[in-house]
Amino acid sequence: MNVHLNVETFLQYWITEISWNSSEFCNIDRFVIQKDLFWTPDTVVLESIKTEFAAIEPPYVRLYDFGMMDMFDFLTLVTTCKMDLHSFPFDTQICSLSLRSLAHSDDELIFAQSESSQGLTSESQRIFQTQGEWELLDINTSTNNSYAMWVSQSQIIFQITIKRRPLLYIVNLIVPVFCFLVLDVASFFINASVSEKLGFKVTLLLSISVLLLILNEKLPSTANDIPLIGIYCSGVFTLIGISILETIFVNVLIRKGEDTKSEKPATATGQDGGVRDLNNSLDTVTSGYEEVTCILNILKLILMEFRAVTQQHQPKESLCWIRAARIIDVTFTAIYIITIVVFLSLLGKVWIVL
């Protein structure tokens, strides 16, 4: 990952061949002179992709009577830094800057730190007054030798520890996703039709999709593992998707019960019509046919009994579908809430520990 840094460098070095007795020159113990007139060490930052001067390159150096020279440079660096984004946005990163010469060996040029790591950290924190994304925690310095083309070279390494300020991501990403999840749970308790609940849940799912696109732009695609915030958003997305499937299934059961209930009036009407037809037939039968009349009366009783039994079973079948839908909805709501609590507890515990 590329990191943009504004660096202030203060370089001191000695040229033993240049010295004078200040008492012989009007007590002048230092003066400023053009940099091009003297030798200056070549220094590079190995991790730098792009190095530029913040304004213009300072053209002068300061020369002291005992042969020491110093100069200031203000640089803008674009460096590479391997970051561990597993606990993003509550992550702490360590980036290294290696400063050395490309041309001189350690026999000709030796790098040494002029200030302790604690002093350098305090001074950098005083200067690092920014309201950006990162907070400077510590700067640790060390010196060692590295080998390039069988030549030993001196180098100084700065390990910069920075911590991300998570407030922006909490407000713009974590809290909205959590609110969407709370709204999804609340939709189980509102007195609305299943179709309205389904439309509401789909809207929540689309909103989380937009936040996932924003998260995808923030995180690099070269991470070794999935960041916890990705697991958090994907988990909430999956939970709401499952609740949508449950809502669809409950809607199917309720529709099944309503369709069964709507078939009852038509069936009963047909039975009443049959009875009326029998009555008409009985009126047309002459009194001389007593046996036929007796048979028709028996058929009438059978038909009335069949109608009574049918009217008893149809409401029961309709209530079974609706009751099953309610039981499934209540059971799923309880399991859904328990799953959310366990998921957020485990994820939050891992997030805090890291």
* Co-location of 158 and 211 in the same domain: no
Handedness of CA 328, 334, 335, 337 (dihedral sign): positive
Find the mean pLDDT for residues 181-194.
86
Which run of H or E residues covers position 322? helix 290-353
* Co-location of 115 and 238 in the same domain: no
Q: What is the pLDDT of residue 40?
A: 81
Last-in-domain residue among 165, 182, 197: 165
Last-in-domain residue among 108, 132, 165: 165
Give CA–CA dist 72/7, Å, rounded: 10
| pLDDT averaged over every residue in the chain | 79
* Co-location of 183 and 314 in the same domain: yes
Find the mean pLDDT for residues 96-117.
83
* Co-location of 25 and 10 in the same domain: yes
Find the mean pLDDT for residues 134-142.
88
Q: Using CB atoms within 10 Å of the CB of residue 161, give its burial: 0 to 12 exposed, 13 to 18 middle, 19+ buried.
A: middle
Q: Which of 345, 352, 348 is nearest to 91 (CA)?
A: 352
- pLDDT value at 344 more than 90: yes
* Domain span including residue 147: 2-165
* Co-location of 85 and 155 in the same domain: yes
Say which residue, 282 or 136, is predicted with more confidence: 136
- pLDDT value at 296 more than 80: no
Count of domains forming the chain: 2
Q: What is the pLDDT of residue 214?
A: 84
Last-in-domain residue among 165, 180, 198: 165
Point out the least confidently predicted range of 135-139, 173-177, 213-217, 254-258.
Answer: 254-258
* Co-location of 63 and 94 in the same domain: yes
What CATH number has the domain bearing residue 130? 2.70.170.10
pLDDT, tens digit (0-9, with 9 covering 90-100), for 260-272: 655 544 444 444 4
- pLDDT value at 79 more than 70: yes
* Co-location of 34 and 104 in the same domain: yes
Find the mean pLDDT for residues 4-14.
79
- For the record, the structure tokens of 313 come out as 């079973």
Point out the least confidently predicted range of 36-50, 111-125, 206-220, 262-276.
Answer: 262-276
Give the pTM. 0.70
